[in-house]
Amino acid sequence: MMKDNIVKTKSFDFAVRIVRLYQYLCCDKKEFVLSKQLLRSGTSIGAMIREAEHAESKHDFIHKFAIAQKEANEVVYWLELLKATDYLNEKEYENINNDAISILKLITSIIKTTKAKVDTKK
C-alpha cells in the first residue's frame, strides 16, 4: 500500500544510527538500561513500517503506522532523558533528535492522509 518509500528508507537509516548510538552508549558511556529502551523503540519504527507495506487493509496500514508513530515518540522521550542525564551532549542529541522528529512528522502526515482517503470512501 505504500507508494513512496521515503519513510521506509529514512526509518531504516535511522535504525542503523540508533544501533550505533546504542553501541556507543554501552561501550563508551557504560549505560545499559536507557540505551536498551532506545534500541528497542528506535528499531521498531522501521519494522512497523515494513509490516505496513504488506498490510491486509487500509485500516491495518493505519494501525501499523500508528504503532510506528508511538515508537518514534518514545524515541524522542529516551533521547531527551539521555541528554538530561548527560549521556548525550547537546550536539549528539540535536543531530539524532532532529531526525527522530522528522520521521515522526512524516509518519503523522502519512496517517492523516490515509485516514482522509479512508473517510472519503465511506
Q: Is the distance from CB of 6 to CB of 107 less than 8 angstroms?
A: no
Q: How far apart are CA 91 and CA 94, in angstroms?
A: 5
CATH of the domain at 56: 1.20.1440.60
Residue 71 domain boundaries: 1-120
Q: How far apart are CA 54 and CA 35, in angstroms?
A: 30
When divided into structural domains, the chain yields a total of 1
Q: How far apart are CA 78 and CA 36, in angstroms?
A: 10
Q: Supply angle C-alpha 19, 23, 24, rounded to 5.
A: 115
> Rounded to two decimals, what is the model's pTM?
0.92
Model pLDDT for residues 48-87, shown as the tens digit of each residue: 999 999 999 999 999 999 999 999 999 999 999 999 999 9
